Structure 1
């Protein structure tokens, strides 16, 4: 991803924001500054302004919000501008809005009063976790905790625990699986590094395909992004064929669209075998096995 930082300083607008009646009646000048971080890969690759963030359009949106409905706080105004720009400019990843009020009603000499707010675009993200070695429940709990401690990643839901039969015909213990969903401002490659780091910390080493795993942490999707390179494919190519992914994911994100289909639709279309994915809450052996 190629990112550029765009700065727009000193956008001037006459508006009626403020707490005092005189401010809303008479109005005053406000100054607005923007610092915008945007994905400019397409624009720079082809020198094509149609894929760039239009500076004039940024100003138009700022003016429309700032000159619109009066608010009491410039904090509120800054936040409304930030939300509007994120909603209308999909390539913006992060922005800072500063609203300055040079005529603020302060009974002392001052240079400037201003407020800054920073917002980052976040995208829905999903992970599938599984393991079949050691204390599986504790390992999965630790992996979820480490995911939740990742800066730029907010966990919003964790599925229940499921016992699933191993794939690939290799004789080995059953897997425990779960899914995690959240929102993230990180890019896909950064999230992949987080997954691999957690696997390594929990003892994952190269092994036989479909063999035993100390920990698997798979990135399933990141918004509607489609990525295909030697190290990462998004959405994960195996989602639609794996009950051990779809069952826990449907528990917490049944309406999430992946490649045009909801998770619940994918699960309905998947041929199933009896007891292929069993909720541990309904299977006392899940707890008993890990306590041996």
Structure 2
């Protein structure tokens, strides 16, 4: 087994419950960690024997571009789509952080973390 991590994928998205968030948008960071069998690709040196991190990045960017009121909703879409498009993933964890959220306080970021394991 092994892990592939994508750290601090930056997007500008329009998630949130407030009307202003839908209009103005804000900065987000997404971290993705997957578990899969890397033993074959470590020997073959072939991209088709591993999970392509270009695909994972594209999934994150495309799903972050679709407006959601809740970070949980966009994170769930990322989890499901990654599992569907990369069938060798055995486990995936996603962290979605809203930078400088409008919550009436001096908060650097709000982060939700969700995971999914293949059954």
Same fold flag (TM > 0.5): yes
Partners of 1:112 and 1:104 lie apart in 2 by 6
The DSSP-based 3-state class of the residue aligned with 2:7 is: strand
In structure 2, which of residues 112, 115, 118 is the aligned counterpart of residue 118 of structure 1? 115
Larger of the two Rg values belongs to structure:
1
**CA deviation after TM superposition for structure 1 residue 23, in Å:** 0.3
Q: Could you tell me which runs of 5 or more consecutive residues in structure 2 were left unpaired when the two chains were aligned.
A: none
Instruction: Name the counterpart of 1:109.
Output: 106
Partners of 2:75 and 2:111 lie apart in 1 by 10
Instruction: Name the counterpart of 2:21.
Output: 23
Q: Is the 8 A contact 1:40 1:91 kept in 2?
A: no
**CA deviation after TM superposition for structure 1 residue 47, in Å:** 2.0
More strand by share: 2
Task: Compute the TM-score of the two structures, normalised by the length of structure 1.
Answer: 0.40
Deviations 1:70-122 (A, max 9, x none): 11100111111001100000110001000000121111112321000010011
Point out which structure has higher relative CO (alpha carbons under 8 A, 6+ apart): 2
In structure 2, which of residues 76, 79, 98 is the aligned counterpart of residue 79 of structure 1? 76
Q: Within 5 Å, which residues of 2 pair with 1:59-70?
A: 59-68=57-66, 70=67
Is 1:54 equivalent to 2:32 in the alignment?
Answer: no
Partners of 2:45 and 2:59 lie apart in 1 by 24
Q: Is the 8 A contact 1:14 1:27 kept in 2?
A: yes
The DSSP-based 3-state class of the residue aligned with 2:109 is: coil
Q: Could you tell me which runs of 5 or more consecutive residues in structure 1 were left unpaired when the two chains were aligned.
A: 123-292
Is 1:88 equivalent to 2:104 in the alignment?
Answer: no
The DSSP-based 3-state class of the residue aligned with 2:54 is: helix
Partners of 1:82 and 1:53 lie apart in 2 by 14
Task: Compute the TM-score of the two structures, normalised by the length of structure 2.
Answer: 0.94
In structure 1, which of residues 30, 33, 36 is the aligned counterpart of residue 34 of structure 2? 36
The DSSP-based 3-state class of the residue aligned with 2:105 is: coil
Partners of 1:28 and 1:112 lie apart in 2 by 11
Partners of 1:36 and 1:101 lie apart in 2 by 21
Structural RMSD (CA): 1.1
The DSSP-based 3-state class of the residue aligned with 2:108 is: coil
**CA deviation after TM superposition for structure 1 residue 18, in Å:** 0.4
Would you identify which runs of 4 or more consecutive aligned residues in structure 1 move more than 4 Å? Answer: none
